[in-house]
C-alpha cells in the first residue's frame, strides 16, 4: 500500500465552493485510495462533500492532500489536475 502527500493551492476565484467540492468528491470516488484533505489543522474525508466544504478553502488557500492505498498516486495526480484546471472555471 502506498501513501502520497501533496500540498496544493486553490487558484480559482471562488475557492472550494459547492460545485468545485462536488467535482473534487467525484474525482476522489473514482479511486479506491482513502483521501484526506487538510487545511489549517482541520481535516476532511475526500469522499464527503460536507467535509470538504467545512474546510472553507478560499482562493489562495493551501490544502494538503493525503492518499493511502494501491492507487494513491493516481488519485493524487487526478486531484492535482483538477486543482491545476481551477476546477474547470474560467476565473
State the pLDDT at residue 35.
99
Cell numbers at 36, concatenated: 484526506
Domains of the chain: which residue ranges? 2-88
Which is it for strands 42-45 and 34-39: parallel, antiparallel or unpaired? antiparallel
CA distance linking residue 14 with residue 34, whole number of Å: 26
CATH level 3 topology of 2-88:
3.30.1340
pLDDT tens column, 16-56: 999 999 999 999 999 999 999 999 999 999 999 999 999 99
Q: Which residues contact 45 (CB under 8 A, 6 or more apart)?
A: 35, 36, 51
Which residues have a catalytic role annotated? 17
Amino acid at each position: 500500500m502506498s501513501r502520497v502527500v501533496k500540498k496544493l493551492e486553490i487558484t480559482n476565484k471562488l475557492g472550494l465552493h459547492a460545485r468545485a467540492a462536488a467535482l473534487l468528491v467525484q474525482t476522489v470516488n473514482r479511486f479506491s485510495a482513502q483521501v484526506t484533505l487538510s487545511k489549517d489543522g482541520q481535516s476532511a474525508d475526500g469522499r464527503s462533500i460536507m467535509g470538504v466544504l467545512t474546510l472553507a478553502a478560499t482562493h489562495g488557500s493551501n490544502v494538503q492532500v493525503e492518499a493511502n492505498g494501491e492507487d494513491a498516486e493516481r488519485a493524487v495526480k487526478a486531484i492535482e489536475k483538477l486543482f491545476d484546471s481551477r476546477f474547470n472555471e474560467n476565473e
